[in-house]
Amino acid sequence: MRLAILGCGTVGSEVVRLLHEQSADLAARIGAPLEIAGIAVRRLGRDRGDLPVAPELFTTDAVGLVKSEDVDVVVEVVGGIEPARGWLVDALRAGKSVVTANKALLAEDGAALHDAAADGGADLYYEAAVAGAIPLLRPLRESLHGDRINRVTGIVNGTTNFILSAMDATGAGFAEALEEATELGYAEADPTADVEGFDAAAKAAILASLAFHTRVGAADVHREGITEVTAADVASAKAMGCTIKLLCIAARGADATGRESVSVRVHPAMIPLGHPLASVGDAYNAVFVEAEAAGPLMFYGRGAGGAATASAVLGDVVAVCRNRLAGVRAPSESAYADLAVRPMGEALTRYHVSLDVADKPGVLAAVAGVFARHDVSIATVRQVPAGAEPAGRGADAVLVIVTHTAPDAALAATVEELRGLDAVRSIASVLRVEGGE
Ligand code: NDP
Ligand code: HSE
């Protein structure tokens, strides 16, 4: 089995190293030896340490390598939309199996890849694209195909989980925790894709597509990052016995007309400390799947890192090679359900709202009236004196309100009206709450 490897960076170099170190075992498991036909990179002169591979295998001609007649499997660990999309579409149409870790491309234009795989009768595997080393897509794609998945809730971005865990542990603000994540090598020099939620949104789209047999793209995912999460939000969460996580949530439900649909979103949320995802710390990932017959299932492990991600890539390489030798291909993309994606306004969630108010008669009634007007039911109310001022008539107080579940649009409209209320001096924080109801 001849492999074209596209990319030899953090993940690619570990793929190459493991292919060398485990060549005998891999050959035995597949039933044929694996050979590297070539490795496409951007810079031929880059120092690649002591990689156990002949220098003449490196090339900058990715197109030529992909088109090469003697390549069976294309492993893409470059990333980005183009030129990766062109390479992979060409490879699949030519009947070559593809293994990729490229979540950005799968979420942006998975359809182009799946269609090309169907045209070419080729395998398209991408276990490493979501949650790195964690075997997750294969269970969704195969093991759970006899069941009905209702909801997937995950922590799928290690960088933001490291930052939020640090904020929770030390009381640090976002900027300080990001600095620590950068110093320790968790956050990239440009952390935008992670902290603004783009990376998690791409993974959410891939998970939702597999869980609900429906094509969901990055543009269908409601996305909010963690840059606005403050130390005060974290303290507020702690006071409620909660912690804040950047969650990806994909859930089945009915739309406004009662038709079955899905909602897919990524945003920070408070979760109770007893929630299965609350104890997932540092840069770890975890995904909680709720299936009709199987019940709750938890997947946990390293979501990033060269060797961890290479493990998932190599698992796919073994699978596609076995398929080729057996003359079969894995089942095509399953998108038969074709469910509509609900707008964020129709997603059901809960809000935690902290309001700075004057501590005087009628304020609580006025605030409660706003919630009632939007048909939002209040679950708990807590009032604490603000700062060092003595509590009492006219002094500042903080009202902390947690709602029951309601459509996001109703909750957002409630907050908007609260902003204009005379009794409300300012809105200190608004966070969604997940789990526990
Ligand atoms: P890196 O930036 O470390 O490596 C990218 C590689 O691609 C480099 O070897 C680079 O060449 C090569 N490359 C870039 N542009 C071209 C081009 N035009 N032609 C040929 N080669 C090119 O990326 P990672 O290894 O971190 O990520 C690879 C993929 O894996 C991405 O899709 C990423 O999202 C995904 N992934 C990464 C994880 C991680 O922990 N890093 C985890 C899960 C998924 P050169 O070496 O010469 O610069
Ligand atoms: N930047 C990603 C993370 C890498 O922090 O989880 C894995 O996709």
Could you say which of 96, 103, 203, 245 is catalytic? 203
Tell me whether residue 67 is one of the annotated catalytic residues. Answer: no
pLDDT, residue 385, reads 79
Confidence at 346, pLDDT banded by 50, 70, 90: very high
Q: What residue type is assigned to position 142 of the chain?
A: E
CA–CA distance, 313 with 311 (Å, rounded to integer)? 5
Q: pTM value?
A: 0.96
H helices within 299-358, ranges in order? 306-326
Tell me which ligand sits closest to the C-alpha of residue 42.
1
User: Region 194-208: what's the mean pLDDT?
Assistant: 98
DSSP 331: P
Confidence at 386, pLDDT banded by 50, 70, 90: confident
User: Are 258 and 234 within 8 A, CB to CB?
Assistant: no
| Centroid of ligand 2 to alpha carbon of 159 (angstroms) | 6
DSSP-derived 3-state class of residue 52: coil
Q: Which atom of ligand 2 is nearest to the CA of 203?
A: 8
In 255-372, beta strands by DSSP E: 260-272, 284-291, 295-302, 340-341, 348-358
- When mean pLDDT is compared across 86-90, 185-189, 276-280, the lowest value belongs to 185-189
Which of 11, 178, 199 for mutating ligand 2's site (highest number of atoms within 8 Å of CB)?
199
| Centroid of ligand 2 to alpha carbon of 314 (angstroms) | 18
User: Region 195-216: what's the mean pLDDT?
Assistant: 98
Measured over the CA atoms of residue 132, residue 133, residue 136 and residue 141, the dihedral's sign is: positive
Confidence at 391, pLDDT banded by 50, 70, 90: low
pLDDT, residue 434, reads 96
pLDDT, residue 392, reads 53
pLDDT at 242 over 90: yes
Confidence at 183, pLDDT banded by 50, 70, 90: very high
pLDDT at 395 over 70: no
pLDDT, residue 387, reads 66
What percent of the chain shows pLDDT beyond 90?
Answer: 91
Residue 194's contacts (CB-CB under 8 Å, 6 or more residues apart) are 157, 159, 160, 187, 188, 200
User: Are 93 and 66 within 8 A, CB to CB?
Assistant: no
Q: Which atom of ligand 1 is nearest to the CA of 158?
A: 40
pLDDT at 115 over 60: yes
pLDDT at 254 over 70: yes
The neighbour count for residue 165, using CB atoms within 10 Å, is 21
Q: Render the burial of 168-205: b for 16+ CB within 10 Å, e for the rest.
A: beeebebeebbebbeeeebbeeebebbbbbbbbbbbbb
pLDDT, residue 394, reads 55
User: Region 150-169: what's the mean pLDDT?
Assistant: 97
The binding-site residues of ligand 1, defined as CB within 6 angstroms of any ligand atom, are 7-12, 40-43, 46, 62, 77-79, 83, 101-103, 128, 132, 304-305, 309
Atom 6 of ligand 1: nearest residue by CA position:
7
| Centroid of ligand 1 to alpha carbon of 428 (angstroms) | 41
pLDDT, residue 96, reads 98
Tell me which ligand sits closest to the C-alpha of residue 193.
2
Atom 2 of ligand 2: nearest residue by CA position:
157
Atom 28 of ligand 1: nearest residue by CA position:
77
| Centroid of ligand 1 to alpha carbon of 76 (angstroms) | 8
Q: Which atom of ligand 2 is nearest to the CA of 188?
A: 1
User: Region 152-169: what's the mean pLDDT?
Assistant: 97
pLDDT, residue 299, reads 98
User: Region 266-270: what's the mean pLDDT?
Assistant: 98
| Centroid of ligand 2 to alpha carbon of 133 (angstroms) | 11
Radius of gyration, CA atoms only, the chain: 24
pLDDT at 307 over 80: yes
Q: Is 213 exposed, middle or buried (0-12, 13-18, 19+ CB in 10 A)?
A: middle
Q: What is the mean pLDDT of the chain?
A: 95
Strands 348-358 and 424-433 turn out to be: antiparallel
Tell me which ligand sits closest to the C-alpha of residue 132.
1
pLDDT at 154 over 70: yes
Domains of the chain: 2-133+306-326 (3.40.50.720), 137-302 (3.30.360.10), 347-433 (3.30.70.260)
User: Are 212 and 262 within 8 A, CB to CB?
Assistant: yes
| Centroid of ligand 2 to alpha carbon of 106 (angstroms) | 15
The binding-site residues of ligand 2, defined as CB within 6 angstroms of any ligand atom, are 132, 157-159, 194, 199, 303-304
Confidence at 258, pLDDT banded by 50, 70, 90: confident
User: Region 132-149: what's the mean pLDDT?
Assistant: 96
Instruction: Give the residue among 148, 106, 192, 423 at the shortest CA–CA distance from 295.
Output: 148
Q: What share of the chain is helix, strand, coil (3-state, %, to 5)?
A: 40, 25, 35
399 beta partners: 355, 383
Phi, psi dihedral angles at 370 (to 5 degrees): -65, -45
pLDDT, residue 437, reads 74
User: Region 160-172: what's the mean pLDDT?
Assistant: 97
250 beta partners: 152, 264
pLDDT at 389 over 70: no
